[in-house]
Amino acid sequence: MLLCDQYLHEYFLIDPTINDFFLKDEWTKKNKRGIQPNIYSEKYYNDSLKLNKKYFKILKEKKDKGNLNYYDKILLHDIQHDIHMEEGYEIYMYMPINLMENILMDYVSECAGNGNYIFETKGQYNDFLKRLKSLDGITDTIIEKMTNGINAKVTLHKRNVTEMINTIQEVLKEKSFTHTKKIKIKKDLWDQAVLKHLVNNLMKFLDFLMNEYYQHSQDNFGLESYKGGKKAYENILQNQTFKECSAEMIHQLGVKELKELNEEKKRLEKVLKVDNINEYVKNTKSFYYDNKKEIIDDLKKIRKRLQKEIFPKYFHGEITNKELYDIKSAPVEMSQNTAYYMPGDLKMKVKGTFYLNTFKPETVNKHELLTLSLHEGIPGHHYEINYHSQGDFPDYFKLSGYDSYSEGWGLYSETLFNYKDDIEYYFKIEYDIHRTLRLIIDTGIHHYGWDYEKCFSLMRKNLSYSDDHINKELLRYIDLPGQALTYKVGEKTLMYLRYHFLQKGHSVQDFHKLILDVGPCPLDILVEYFLDNGLI
């Protein structure tokens, strides 16, 4: 067994919930399906750190002897970063959850049947109820750590706390946790458990946010506003992109790309003979939907269109109907997202699903669905993740996520279409501008200390998005430092590798197969692979 998979097997003993994805028989037999570890507890933290240090020592010895294989290099990269973040920064100990990453919201989706947990047998329902009981201790730990943050003056940004409060209130109002499947145990037993361990904890946490935490939440935001935060951001940035990168380099790349993309948008204005293409698209009512059903129906048509048009041209082989993704409206607890992809499990009992925010159909443009489908569906996230989860890859890499690889591939996939419709092409440019602005704004927030108004104004000037949409985007960047950089840096890396690979006489189909066969991995290691093997 590869060392990375040995590591994963030991990590399973710390967090058995990873078997929701793998569905391994040997893990299922260990009867740990009802365990939800308190991932915010000192025990979980210490167990994870101990495991990481154990494997760091093993990998260091292999490296000193020159015995690291390709997968060892990636595992070492991951462990070094995890240990550095665990030992080097207290910031995240005071902010265990945020708007984007909140286990209570995850359980809202799971209870509804929109998560990764498989509900088929009576035993699976009973095991899930055991997990629900763990939310009592988890909620107490979250509140304890956030209270410590109040005392240490390390708290979440006020706007993000407000949005967390609004989201929880909406979930409680809409009862978004209501189970959508036929319950295999007594309904009263299920309802009582959900009320006691999920709803009551949501209410408890909501009360804490409103009556204790909000008044202490920060007006400032960004990692640079916390002690040691600027250094933490530098480490995150380099882990997400390249070791040689600095915030200034990323920022200037964004400035350069933004200028070029805005020039392309100006060119399209001349083609369409309009003075302001943003206003034209925003104010043409026929471009927008009347109801959710029309949106889902059109997404299904686009899925079929991509299946027929993309794969024969850019990939070896075909993608069958069985391999396609599901399409659903996003649930209330995920309403802060425009669109996202949720992978299925390893045995395909639950298919990968493309979720779109359809709460306000009148704000969804008919012409933007193509670009979103390329990114989230095929050949974007769904195709890439399925390729790896169903292929002959180590288990460790079927679970691990490398945003610059995955989101870079998603953005790159948006280029694999011959846009003949001018408004569809407009949205291709618009989403490209969006990802480029992320380079400028993410570094602006977490390195340069930009205020909210400066970030908002820059997005408002360059995008046709509503104020609410821009606000949600900024709250996301505040909560997830460095993640917003991964799209554009990943895409630029893939474009660079493809150019030089094709210059050597190879085909684009071979390039795509190679990228998928080498990854998922950090960008440093991806480029190193191409160089070491004389591929560029």
Lookup: tokens for 269: 């204005």
Whether pLDDT at 116 is above 90: no
Mean pLDDT for the stretch of residues 9-18: 96
Mean pLDDT of 36-55: 96
Residue 243, pLDDT > 90, answer yes
The alpha helices in 337-466, defined as continuous H runs, are: 369-376, 381-389, 395-399, 403-413, 422-443, 452-462
Taking 80 as the threshold, does the pLDDT of residue 7 lie above it? yes
pLDDT, average across residues 515-532: 95
Q: Distance between CA atoms of 323 and 383, rounded to whole angstroms?
A: 8
- Cβ count near 301 (within 10 Å): 11
Q: For residue 352, count CB atoms less than 10 angstroms from its CB and return exposed for 0-12, middle for 13-18, buried for 19 or more.
A: buried
The reported pLDDT for the residue numbered 521 is 96
Q: Which of 63-67, 147-151, 332-336, 510-514 is the least confident region?
A: 332-336
- pLDDT class of 274 with cuts at 50, 70, 90: very high
Cis peptide before 522 (omega within 30 of 0): no
- Alpha-helical runs (H) found in 68-121: 70-88, 91-94, 103-112
- pLDDT of 88: 75
Please compute the mean of the pLDDT values over residues 346-375 and round it to a whole number: 93
pLDDT tens per residue across span 182-199 = 999 999 999 999 999 999
Could you tell me the CA-to-CA distances from 169 to 156, 166, 467 in Å, in that order? 19, 5, 22
pLDDT confidence of 91, banded at 50, 70, 90? confident
- Supply the pLDDT for residue 331: 85
Amino acid of residue 69: N
- Closest C-alpha among 515, 237, 520, 493 to residue 401: 520
Q: Could you give phi then psi for residue 341, rounded to 5 degrees?
A: -115, 135
CA dihedral of residues 520, 523, 526, 531 (deg, nearest 10): 180
Per-residue pLDDT band for 5 (boundaries 50, 70, 90) equals very high
Kindly tell me if the per-residue pLDDT of 348 is higher than 90. Answer: no
Tokens of 93: 């100990």
Listed in sequence order, the residues at least 6 apart from 324 whose beta carbon sits closer than 8 Å to its beta carbon are 303, 307, 378, 382
**Closest Cα to residue 115, out of 350, 322, 298?**
350
At 178, which amino acid appears? Answer: T
With bands split at pLDDT 50, 70 and 90, how would you rate the model's confidence at 347? Answer: confident
Integer Cα distance of 177 and 174 in angstroms: 8
Decide if pLDDT at 436 tops 80: yes
Least reliable range by pLDDT among 88-102, 306-320, 328-342: 328-342
CA torsion sign for 460, 465, 467, 468 is negative
Name the one residue in this structure whose structure tokens are 């992320």: 438
Q: Calculate mean pLDDT across residues 203-217.
A: 98
Calculate mean pLDDT across residues 52-64: 97
Tell me what pLDDT residue 110 has: 95
3-state SS of the chain: helix, strand, coil percent to 5? 70, 5, 30
Nearest to 513 by CA among 535, 532, 531, 492: 535
Q: Percent of the chain having pLDDT more than 70?
A: 100
Render the burial of 261-272: b for 16+ CB within 10 Å, e for the rest.
beeebeeebeee
Q: Are strands 353-356 and 326-329 parallel, antiparallel or unpaired?
A: parallel
Confirm if 346 and 414 have CB atoms less than 8 A apart.
no
Range 54-61 average pLDDT: 97
Pairwise pLDDT comparison (84 vs 434), residue with the higher score: 434
Average of per-residue pLDDT across 44-69: 96
Residue 6's pLDDT is what? 97
* 3 state DSSP class of 328: strand
Most distant CA pair in the chain, distance: 66
Q: Is the pLDDT of residue 333 over 80?
A: no
Q: Give the contacts of 417 (CB within 8 A, at least 6 positions apart).
A: 306, 309, 310, 370, 374, 428
> What's the token pair of residue 188?
């009263």
- The predicted-structure confidence for 257-273, as pLDDT tens digits, reads as follows 999 999 999 999 999 99
Alpha carbon 167 to its chain centroid, in Å, reads 19
What's the confidence (pLDDT) of residue 304? 95
Tell me the mean pLDDT in the region 120-133.
Answer: 96
Phi/psi region, residue 534 (left: phi>0; alpha: psi -120 to 50; beta: rest), is left
Specify the pLDDT at position 152. 94
Task: Concatenate the DSSP letters of all residues of 335-361 into one string.
Answer: TT-SEEEE---TTSSS--EEEE--SSG
61-75 mean pLDDT: 96
Q: What are phi and psi of 227, to 5 degrees?
A: -60, 125
**In the predicted structure, residue 10 carries a pLDDT above the cut 90:** yes
Q: Which of 418, 444, 410, 434 is nearest to 261 (CA)?
A: 434
pLDDT, position 286: 95
Q: What is the DSSP letter of 129?
A: H
List the one residue out of 63, 67, 96, 72 whose CA is nearest residue 7. Answer: 72
> pLDDT-based confidence at 416, cuts 50/70/90?
very high
Length of the chain: 536
CA of 183: how far to CAs of 190, 273, 482, in Å? 8, 57, 41
- Residue 473, both tokens: 């985007």
Per-residue confidence band for 346, with pLDDT thresholds at 50, 70 and 90: confident
